[in-house]
Amino acid sequence: MAITSNDPPRTLNAAQIAEILPHRYPFALVDKITDYQPGVWARGVKCVTLNEPFFQGHFPGQPVMPGVLILEALAQTGAVAALSLPENRGKLALFGGVKQARFRRQVVPGDVLTLECELVEQHGPMGIGKATAWVDGVRAVNAELTFVIAPREGGNAQG
């Protein structure tokens, strides 16, 4: 999957992402959104450093980013696309499932993950995204992600 657009890129920095997603350290896994189309797709970046807390216990001496965290970063990228729609602002995008996940390359400190998620189907609050993570142009992970858009507890959801 290579998401392309003829429009000028729309970018979001970490502070702007935090306005859309409720994730905070250590679970905010997208450093920047480099382009997106609300409700359709998003492309983001995750800079993987040795300072990540999960490297302390995940193969010390030969650190590898856990595949489930790469899937989470892909899901957060897709959530930015879904929650950027005005009717979804202030809501949550929850994981509903993962299908056809393939881990093709290890991700290690120093890698820069390019995260892409295209929302290919949505029926009411449920949807499916096709997601791929790349390192230096080489596919590292791809999967089909199912999500559910839900209101935040405590009446914080808008719409």
The DSSP 8-state label assigned to residue 20 in this structure reads: H
| CA–CA separation, 67 and 106 (whole Å) | 9
Contact between 20 and 50 (Cβ < 8 Å)? no
Catalytic, out of 58, 67, 101, 148: 58
Q: Which residue has the tokens 């800079």?
A: 47
Tokens of 95: 């994981």
Q: Indicate if 23 belongs to the active site.
A: no
What b-and-e string marks burial along 70-98, b requiring 16 or more CB atoms within 10 Å of the CB? bbbbbbbbbbbbbbbbeebebbbbeeeee
Q: Which residues are catalytic?
A: 58
